[in-house]
Amino acid sequence: MKIIENSIEGIKEAAEILTSNGIVAFPTETVYGLGANAFSKEAVTKLYEIKRRPSFNPLIIHVSSYDMAKEYGIFNYTAEKLVKKYWPGPLTIIVKKKKSKVVEAATAKLETIALRCPRNIIARKLIRELEKPIAAPSANKSGKLTCTSPGDVFAKLNNSIDALLNGGDAELGLESTVVDCSVEKPCIHRLGNITLDEISSCLEYKIAFSLQSEKQIKSPGQLLKHYSPDAKLLLNQNKPNRGDIFLSFGPHPKEIDGLTLTESKNLEEAAKNLFTFLHILDRMSEAKGGVPIKVAPIPSIGVGAAINDRLLRAVAK
Ligand code: TXA
Ligand code: MG
């Protein structure tokens, strides 16, 4: 894997790799994405193989503007309202799909399409340079811990992808909020930094967080075990013992191995650190022969709800 630094030439080089059907990890404000040219069947197929992602699980199509998004999806009143408020930003909108050059495999042959215009300027420059949308899941193997830093992308995907466009650590640390606007009653499929209350207040009604039934799988990622470290995770732990590995919330207890997500109980800081710290503690656990990682309770307010959502999926069987 080639590491490309962020510069005009670097972005050109990354776009050339994408044009020739290569896979490039690139920064977004949420997490690193594993990018493929969304118009290339070869590249998209390769992406599913690298991620070991089931073919029925669709990808997010990344665009550099709302105008570009409208070439691929039909934006109704609700979708437009959300986009006007939150794009560019950590929000993915599911809308009815337009006939376009986006390959069928990228949207798992659904009649809908998930679109996102990232706030990260490197990501948008890359899309503009490519002059095509980028299909990109989070940079991790299916079901495993998401990567939010270039170091973690390198450690986990070095041998599998063509290049990494270095944009430093992700600003937010959790994947985007996903809102399905393709249905009569819009609902949230994935919680993220933009909270349920914020979406509700933008739409002026209380939107629901809906996990779909297995019969109508639309966001399969939301149903399965996901975001898992190799170590066993134990949630809502208040009293770690010596020898434990502890991920704390607030000041870290003395003489206990581990890290605090945030000294000051700031939930945004905790969200930003969550995946990076789980990677570190996962390595610590391996070095100690597989000691489980104990995680402190995290309040489910604001972005805390999204943090707990990730943690619950990480321990799901
Ligand atoms: O922040 C993010 O969203 C990151 C960065 C790279 O943009 N991307 C990301 O992609 O998290 P991924 O593939 O890990 O998660 C996309 C989620 C999956 O749960 C997928 O099932 C859902 O979006 N999804 C994609 N297209 C969909 C569609 N047409 N209908 C319903 N769900 C869809
Ligand atoms: Mg993912």
Please give the structure tokens belonging to residue 31.
């997490």
Q: Rounded to the nearest whole angstrom, what is the distance from the C-alpha of residue 21 to the centroid of ligand 1?
A: 21
What confidence score (pLDDT) does residue 210 get? 83
246-to-143, 207, 261, 309 alpha-carbon distances in Å? 22, 35, 10, 19
Residues 97-115 pLDDT 10s: 999 999 999 999 999 999 9
How far apart (Å, rounded) are the C-alpha atoms in residues 85 and 17?
33
Q: Is 201 left (phi over 0), alpha (psi -120 to 50) or beta?
A: alpha
Q: Rounded to the nearest whole angstrom, what is the distance from the C-alpha of residue 96 to the centroid of ligand 1?
A: 15
148-to-27, 32, 34, 201, 275 alpha-carbon distances in Å? 8, 5, 12, 29, 7
Share of the chain above pLDDT 70, in %: 95
Please give the structure tokens belonging to residue 5.
């630094």
Average pLDDT, the chain: 94
Q: Rounded to the nearest whole angstrom, what is the distance from the C-alpha of residue 28 to the centroid of ligand 1?
A: 13
Element (DSSP H or E) covering residue 97: strand 91-97
Architecture of domain 2-209: Alpha-Beta Complex (3.90)
Mean pLDDT for the stretch of residues 284-291? 96
User: What is the number of alpha carbons within 13 Å of residue 254 lying toward its C-beta?
Assistant: 0
Whether 233 is in the pocket of ligand 1, judged by its Cβ within 6 Å, is no
Confidence of residue 214 (pLDDT cuts 50, 70, 90): very low
Residues 256-278 pLDDT 10s: 999 999 999 999 999 999 999 99
Residue 213 has pLDDT above 50, yes or no: no
Share of the chain above pLDDT 90, in %: 90
Cis peptide before 54 (omega within 30 of 0): no
What confidence score (pLDDT) does residue 219 get? 52
Please state the pTM of the whole predicted model: 0.96
Please name the residues in contact with 167: beta carbons below 8 A apart, sequence gap of 6 or more.
6, 26, 27, 120, 122, 123, 150
Residue 64 has pLDDT above 50, yes or no: yes
- Ligand 1 pocket test, candidate residues 24, 29, 138, 171, most atoms within 8 A of CB: 138
What confidence score (pLDDT) does residue 142 get? 86
Residues 20-46 pLDDT 10s: 999 999 999 999 999 999 999 999 999
Mean pLDDT for the stretch of residues 163-182? 98
Please name the residues in contact with 162: beta carbons below 8 A apart, sequence gap of 6 or more.
1, 2, 17, 22, 23, 24
Residue 10 has pLDDT above 80, yes or no: yes
Residue 225 has pLDDT above 80, yes or no: no
Please name the residues in contact with 174: beta carbons below 8 A apart, sequence gap of 6 or more.
30, 31, 90, 192, 193, 271, 274, 275, 303, 306, 307, 310
Q: Rounded to the nearest whole angstrom, what is the distance from the C-alpha of residue 173 to the centroid of ligand 2?
A: 12
Whether 28 is in the pocket of ligand 1, judged by its Cβ within 6 Å, is yes
**Residue ranges per domain, the chain?**
2-209, 233-315
Confidence of residue 212 (pLDDT cuts 50, 70, 90): low
